[in-house]
Amino acid sequence: MSRESPGLYVHVPFCRGKCHYCDFYSVTSLSLVSAYLEALDKEAQLYQGRFGAFDTLYLGGGTPSLLEGPQLRALMDCLRRHFSFSPEAEITLEANPDDLNPEKLALLQDLGVNRLSLGVQSFDDAELRFLGRRHTARQAAQAPAWARAAGFHHLGVDLIYALPGQTEAGWRKNLAKVLEFLPEHLSCYQLTLSPDTPLGQRQARGEFALPTEETQRRLFLFTSRFLEDRGYLHYEVSNFARGRAFFSRHNLNYWRHAPYLGLGPAAHSFDGRRRWWNFASVAKYCSVVNSGRRPVAGKETLTPEQLRLEACLLGLRTREGLPLSALGSAARTPALGRLADAGLVQVRHGRLTPTREGLVLADRLPLWLAD
């Protein structure tokens, strides 16, 4: 097992309804929640002692915030029983605004959750309806205020932009609204549609079109400049923080190619050399775990070449980039100089870092660098 501080991810695969753009695994029937929690306890037991103290815990989904108070408590108790966490561990819970109220927020504080990631997505009712979100603009604005009142000092808000027909002015309104709450962390995702989502299908039928590549680029650069001008660090393609202390440590862990353990249906794990992923089915997950086996649907052992490639594709999504030494022979190709001349990357202090313009093309960079 790797010595680096690993992260722990728990996938809570339940939602009250599916958002029209979402392709994460979740189910909308809540009847399996208790079976899921029991199975999770058993799965955790199977990994007990295999990882060192976790530096981060991320409860994601799905919608972890829909769990009832006692369910959340049982979940946290189970994790603390089987694993150890560093004293300063970052503990994040993903929450939907419509699940939150002052009592729930007080409970989360009590359970040790010290970082809240709010799935606001938009402060515009028409946009929220288009996206298939269940909350209103009013609820979206209420949730951060309550979270502050409950004592959350590390608040993250998720927003989605580059919607069909969205203008820079419209997007700017959302950004201005979110800045009223001065969240420590902001994730601004450009709308991406996979074909098996309701919006993906509507797009395929030609009911609407996403903004052109040129518009997406413009909105991306605008967002970066707008937020950096207001004191945020644009530290990953879609992520911004009011200072290094507020980077999402759990997610940075992924981009630094560090190990992580994922529990729950569809969760992925990585130990520095091997990656494996669980069945994307609550029922299958529960039945396999209940038979005493790990609910692993697939696994791979990465070659040194593959590890380098992953480190490269992940590192080039972040402003800290990656050490030149991690590039291998690609560090010596003329492509590097060309990308630098084109203003897409910089080489500083032995590290290769993407510029703001480079982040817009982050998926191409590893390919262009390849020898």
Partner 1 sequence: MSQIRNFSIIAHIDHGKSTLADRLIQFTMQVPDRIFRDQLLDTMDIERERGITIKSNTIALPYTARDGLTYQLNLIDTPGHVDFSYEVSRALAACEGVLLLVDASQGVEAQTVANLYLALEHDLAIIPVINKIDLPAADVDGVREQIRQELGLDAADAILCSAKEGLGIEEVLEAIVRRIPPPRGRLDAPLSALIFDAHYDTFRGTIVSTRVFDGRVAPGDTIRLLSTGHTYKVEEVGIFGLSREPRPELTAGMVGYLLAGIKTVSDTRIGDTVTLNDNPAPRPLPGFKEVKPVVFASVYPVAADDYQVLSEALEKYKLNDAALIYQKDSSAALGQGFRCGFLGLLHLEIVQERLEREFGQNLIMTVPGVQYRFLLSDGTAVTVDNPLHYPDPTRIRGGEEPYIRASILTPERFVGAVLKLGVERRGVNSRFHYPTPGRVEITFEMPLAEVIIDFYDRLKTVTQGYGSFDYELLNWRESDLVRLDILVNGEKLDALAMIVHRSRAREWAVRVCQRLKAEIPRQQFKIALQGAIGGQIIARETISAFRKDVTAKCYGGDITRKRKLLERQKAGKKRMKMVGSVEVPQSAFMAVLRSENE
Residues that bind partner 1 (CB under 8 A): 9, 189-192, 213-214, 216-217, 220, 237-238, 251, 254-255, 260, 262, 266-270, 275, 277, 300, 306, 309-310, 313-314, 317, 338-339, 342, 344, 359-364, 366-368, 370
Give the number of other Cβ atoms within 10 Å of residue 333's Cβ: 15
Report how far residue 194's alpha carbon sits from residue 91's, in angstroms, rounded to the nearest whole number: 30
Nearer to partner 1, 97 or 358 (CB): 358
Nearer to partner 1, 41 or 158 (CB): 158
Nearer to partner 1, 268 or 351 (CB): 268
Q: How far is CA 174 from CA 148, 239, 353, in A?
A: 19, 16, 29
Complete edge-to-edge strand list for the sheet that includes strand 233-236 = 233-236, 239-241, 185-190, 155-161, 115-121, 85-95, 54-61, 7-12, 260-263, 268-270, 274-278, 296-301
Shortest distance in whole angstroms from residue 169 CB to partner 1: 20
Shortest distance in whole angstroms from residue 95 CB to partner 1: 17
Task: Answer yes or no: are the C-beta atoms of 94 and 117 closer than 8 Å.
Answer: yes
Shortest distance in whole angstroms from residue 110 CB to partner 1: 28
How long is the chain?
A: 371
Nearer to partner 1, 150 or 160 (CB): 160
Nearer to partner 1, 104 or 220 (CB): 220
Question: Is 359 exposed, middle or buried (CB count within 10 Å of its CB: 0-12, 13-18, 19+)?
Answer: buried
Shortest distance in whole angstroms from residue 59 CB to partner 1: 13
Shortest distance in whole angstroms from residue 343 CB to partner 1: 10
Shortest distance in whole angstroms from residue 150 CB to partner 1: 26
Amino acid letter, 35: A
What is the three-class DSSP state of 4? coil
CB-hemisphere CA count at 13 Å for 260? Answer: 24
Nearer to partner 1, 146 or 222 (CB): 222
Task: Answer yes or no: are the C-beta atoms of 357 and 344 closer than 8 Å.
Answer: yes
Shortest distance in whole angstroms from residue 325 CB to partner 1: 20
Nearer to partner 1, 217 or 319 (CB): 217
